[in-house]
Amino acid sequence: MTIYRSMSTTTPVAGEPAPPAKAPAAKQGKKNNKKSKGANDFLLKTPKGTKDWADKDMIIRDAIFGSLTALFKKHGGMTIDTPVFELREILTGKYGEDSKLIYNLEDQGGELTSLRYDLTVPFARFVACNSISSIKRYHIAKVYRRDQPAMTKGRMREFYQCDFDVAGNYDMMVPDAEILTVLCEGLTGLGITDFKVKLNHRKILDGIFQACGVKEEDVRKVSSAVDKLDKLPWAAVKKEMCVDKNQPEEVADKIGDFVKLKGSIREVLSMLETNDLLKTNESAQKGIQEMLILADYVDAFGVDEFLSFDLSLARGLDYYTGLIYEAVTSASAPPENASELKEKAKKSVKEGDEVEDASEFVGVGSIAAGGRYDNLVGMFSNGKSIPCVGISFGVERIFSIIKARAAKELDSVSSSHTDVYVMAFGGGEGWDGYLKERMAVTNKLWKQGINAEYLYKTKANIRKQFDAAEKAGAKLAVILGKQEYSEGKLRIKVLGQGDDGDDGELVSEEGLTAAIEKKLAELDTDGLNQVTRLIRGL
């Protein structure tokens, strides 16, 4: 098979050097030549912060998609898709300090566009464009951020998000409670049980800042500093607030008394309700009342054990207006000596250059996050706002956890989905290899929805057929014996049992598919196939 590779010119990201107009072709006859020879040399690699996906990695990722998609459908979600790039003005001003991470594209025919940073702002634009008053939607797609990559931790510049959102006017905190349930179901369904969902409320947080003396125009700046408490000690965050954000030390100290509080929803609420500073703050009181309602609803859904009311959670995105949350695990935090490792990594690159991969000194971070954003749709529809709340699962970060957990089990998983391999045994005068017959039997299995293959060879010896079946990861072999098949009989042999002496079960051609379906079901444990069990950690 000849592989043809085309190289087209691409539009550079604004502010980055343009690629060569034409890349020279690599010389023939040089094996493993990753660099072309010519006036314009280039390194043959994926862009920084991206990777090719193949083999067993794709099996894991597809299983994650399948598990989350089934969950979203169970909760009544309908799926949509939106363009991978949006008009730049749609994305501008929605992400706070993170706006610097947006990939801006060059002017194309009079339109300034940018690659989408998340799936939430495009969803809000979609709701406004289509005058939608209520919808439960899910969306699985790639997003792009010019962030510092940490590839083995799932922190990338191109990555998938799996979003589930509810838009519409409903009774207070009802959709929020269900979204939290979707979050917990999604992670436990993927075998991740050692997580904690940190909750906070923007109205409470904003009320705390106001009560402590933060000016209205400084609230978001102070909020972004507090949001770093999961990575930095309070002393470092206080320094940022006082030195970089120009807050008086007494204001920072008051804030520190609040943002160190965490516990169950009711435990933290009991402390907030009796706090003198917040008793007269309207914003904080509204948030407290909403959290009291939420406490009852999460009890009803049985997910309260996974939740922690943590006043240090701020979520830097500007569009959040109410409940905010993120799920973390033991892998989320950076290593204890992260600063030392970071400095060591910086010394290994030229001054002014960025470290290629930050995996050694960062953690996985949050593996899912979201919140309520009641005003975002209104930004696109002349103030006609539609309340929204949602959750986004970070697939690559979840993938990194599952792959690390299931490293040993992956050895026994095939990257193919083949269940049955169709073979033919025979020989002697007049033997033609039963190629047409193998095709016919394979086609019969396909029509019954059974994943099947056969060897693309007219006459294949027995060993090569078994080797091909093993490579494909097939569970069963259907064997067309020269004498038996002429009598309308075939054999079904279970593969991978290490018993070459077992000739398998002889069945009629009419009963073949039913016998195969029965045997495949018997090979599954508790009704779950090997990949599903691996993903769930069973």
- pLDDT tens string 171-208: 999 999 999 999 999 999 999 998 999 999 999 999 99
- What pLDDT shows up at residue 338? 64
- Runs of H (alpha helix) within 92-142: 120-129
> Structure pTM?
0.81
Smallest CA-to-CA distance from 159 within 400, 360, 358 is with 400
Domain with CATH 3.30.930.10 in the chain: 1-195+370-411, 202-328
CB 141 within 8 A of CB 364: no
Question: Which amino acid belongs to residue 275?
Answer: N
The answer for residues whose C-beta is within 8 angstroms of residue 32's C-beta and 6 or more apart is none
Share in percent of the chain as helix, strand, coil (round to 5): 40, 15, 45
pLDDT > 70 fraction of the chain, expressed in percent and rounded: 84
Chain CA centroid to CA 327, Å: 13
Unique residue bearing structure tokens 């933290």: 268
What CATH number should be reported for the domain whose range is 420-528? 3.40.50.800
Instruction: Write out pLDDT tens, residues 460-470.
Output: 889 999 999 99
Domain with CATH 3.40.50.800 in the chain: 420-528
Q: What is the mean pLDDT of the chain?
A: 85
Specify whether domain 1-195+370-411 bears CATH 3.30.930.10. Answer: yes
- What pLDDT shows up at residue 279? 92
Alpha-carbon distances of 27 from 24, 31, 33, rounded to whole Å: 9, 10, 8
Q: Which tokens go with 5?
A: 């590779």
Under the phi-then-psi rule, with left for phi > 0, alpha for psi from -120 to 50, and beta for the rest, what region is 277?
A: alpha
Q: Tell whether residue 165 is among the known ligand binding residues.
A: yes
Q: Which tokens go with 313?
A: 């959670």
- Predicted confidence band at 363 (pLDDT cuts at 50, 70, 90)? low
CB 425 within 8 A of CB 481: yes
Q: What angle do CA 492, 493, 496 make, to 5 degrees?
A: 150
Average pLDDT over residues 86-115: 88
Q: What angle do CA 330, 334, 338 make, to 5 degrees?
A: 150
**Secondary structure of residue 110 in the 3-state scheme:** coil
Q: Tell whether residue 438 is among the known ligand binding residues.
A: no
Q: How far apart are CA 362 and CA 388, in angstroms?
A: 32
Q: How many CB atoms lie within 10 A of CB 423?
A: 25
Q: Tell whether residue 107 is among the known ligand binding residues.
A: no
Average pLDDT over residues 219-223: 85
Q: Which tokens go with 380?
A: 């696109």
Unique residue bearing structure tokens 């990949």: 531
The answer for residues whose C-beta is within 8 angstroms of residue 314's C-beta and 6 or more apart is 200, 205, 223, 224, 226, 227, 324
- Predicted confidence band at 526 (pLDDT cuts at 50, 70, 90)? low
Q: Is the pLDDT of residue 393 over 90?
A: yes
Q: Which tokens go with 80?
A: 């949509």
Q: Tell whether residue 485 is among the known ligand binding residues.
A: no
Strands 489-494 and 505-508: antiparallel
Q: Tell whether residue 145 is among the known ligand binding residues.
A: yes
- From the number of C-beta atoms within 10 Å of its C-beta (0-12, 13-18, 19+), residue 382 rates as exposed
- What pLDDT shows up at residue 362? 64
Alpha-carbon distances of 328 from 17, 249, 332, 527, rounded to whole Å: 37, 30, 6, 30
Specify whether domain 202-328 bears CATH 3.30.930.10. Answer: yes
- From the number of C-beta atoms within 10 Å of its C-beta (0-12, 13-18, 19+), residue 363 rates as buried
Q: Tell whether residue 103 is among the known ligand binding residues.
A: no
Q: Tell whether residue 220 is among the known ligand binding residues.
A: no
Q: How far apart are CA 285 and CA 268, in angstroms?
A: 14
- What pLDDT shows up at residue 176? 97
